[in-house]
Structure 1
């Protein structure tokens, strides 16, 4: 079994454009994190897919993504905002389900910006107890999320509930088993539906077929391992369920335009 390095566990606050600094694939491809993530967009627009549902985002959109939830989003050159990574086992009372909130009230926007400024200041500071102070401000962010979720119940649900539920179940299963080499037919069987129905639902909720979501998740992990570890290509291929390194190389080059070795050198 390929050993995959765990991401950092400490809370971090990062400007959204910086998330794509190593390549837009780092934010656009489907993946799930082992820690909760909060996104606050202040400029620009794009599309974001969370738990198998795609929506547009605009300025003053706040999005919360629980740990283990598959997601990916566009970051164009005019997109600005802040990403807050809460860290694993942060211990805060955070929402159990994803949230996409459109914050129209100026007072709520100001409160959030002040809280994010305070988090960033304490995280970057060297005053006594700055880590503890940052934790308190993260707690205030969790309170802000709880209040805004209560003020915007079930906002902006553009897809049928049954489709959203099936797409969410598919992405959960996909995140668990994407290293297994399973195909769309295998996932459909596990979900008790036909491959055609699963593909139709994914097209409805994301605009993409189920096969694309599966390939996206596998290729994200392949690129991450090639860029961030020294694992041999054949081990990366084996750990992602490919029958042979040669087949992995062909599939990787077809979708990225580079061989795994070329991609590793450029990364």
Structure 2
């Protein structure tokens, strides 16, 4: 059940990210490291910092550490996810990016760079680790250049989207404390009604849906990857009681927390989405 070490840079096929259930990619979550999603085939929707957009082939999406996100991965979606690792020395963007790479040369350039990184990671020749880091640096430069090209076409978020981005950022620091939408809205200086209206405009979901999704994703992660008692998990996520946690979890997942944990040791074909 132990996750891969987030301090290490690694590449993974996007199709493999949902191997343990679609909840691992679709539910709202954040990472402690930067992540680049490079889609080469297929389409779907991705929500980053409370904003939902469609993605297609040759889209590059960079998600900084601590930024909430979730995305659809259908059976026809292919590409590569790059996890940069905590403390990565490569210069990376400070904000999330969604880049539509139209130039064939730029598409080929990133494909070759990713292939070279993977080749060095798989190698045992002297200096392969340094070579992988150098190629990763070139990936950072590619990302910076493509962001500069797309800046002129970027649409500035309106007030509703800016508020939702602030909400998801604040939620990331508060979701374990048991605060409701009303309390978080008050911290943002708006009403819960206004916040929910803005969330629906930005991503077609309510403020409470985003908050519950974030909490339940964290619950599923802890159930799948740790041996922490169910009651302790609920308390750590701000649920008032173990019974309330169990009801909320089952309402959103269709399984009790204990039943969900058991499925994580079952064959992949029996795992819930």
TM-score by length of 2: 0.94
Q: In structure 2, what is the equivalent of residue 105 of structure 1?
A: 103
SS at match of 1:227: helix
After superposition, the Cα gap between the structure-2 partners of 1:80 and 1:179, relative to the gap in structure 1 and judged at 3 Å, is: same
Match of 2:194 among 182, 194, 197: 197
Give distance in 2, aligned partners of 1:213 and 1:111: 36
The answer to whether residue 8 in structure 2 is matched with residue 10 in structure 1 is yes
- Write out per-residue CA displacement over residues 164-221 of structure 1, whole angstroms, 9 at most, x where no aligned residue: 2111110111111110111100110000001011001111111101000000000000
After superposition, the Cα gap between the structure-2 partners of 1:177 and 1:6, relative to the gap in structure 1 and judged at 3 Å, is: farther
Contact 1:37/1:65 (8 A) holds in 2: yes
Q: In structure 1, what is the equivalent of residue 243 of structure 2?
A: 246
After superposition, the Cα gap between the structure-2 partners of 1:146 and 1:73, relative to the gap in structure 1 and judged at 3 Å, is: same
Alignment of 1:46-65 (within 5 A): 46-65=44-63
SS at match of 2:212: helix
Mind listing any 5+ residue stretches in structure 1 that lack a counterpart? Answer: none
The answer to whether residue 176 in structure 2 is matched with residue 186 in structure 1 is no
What count of residue pairs does the alignment treat as equivalent?
A: 263
After superposition, the Cα gap between the structure-2 partners of 1:24 and 1:232, relative to the gap in structure 1 and judged at 3 Å, is: same
After superposition, the Cα gap between the structure-2 partners of 1:154 and 1:21, relative to the gap in structure 1 and judged at 3 Å, is: farther
Match of 2:165 among 140, 163, 168: 168
Mind listing any 5+ residue stretches in structure 2 that lack a counterpart? Answer: 265-273
Give distance in 1, aligned partners of 2:4 and 2:232: 17
Q: In structure 1, what is the equivalent of residue 268 of structure 2?
A: none
Q: In structure 2, what is the equivalent of residue 137 of structure 1?
A: 135
Give distance in 1, aligned partners of 2:120 and 2:207: 42
After superposition, the Cα gap between the structure-2 partners of 1:231 and 1:6, relative to the gap in structure 1 and judged at 3 Å, is: farther
Aligned-pair distance for 1:7? 5.1
Contact 1:30/1:216 (8 A) holds in 2: yes
After superposition, the Cα gap between the structure-2 partners of 1:7 and 1:253, relative to the gap in structure 1 and judged at 3 Å, is: farther
- Write out per-residue CA displacement over residues 12-54 of structure 1, whole angstroms, 9 at most, x where no aligned residue: 1000010100000000000110000000000100000011111
Q: In structure 1, what is the equivalent of residue 223 of structure 2?
A: 226
TM-score by length of 1: 0.96
Give distance in 1, aligned partners of 2:130 and 2:243: 50
SS at match of 2:151: coil
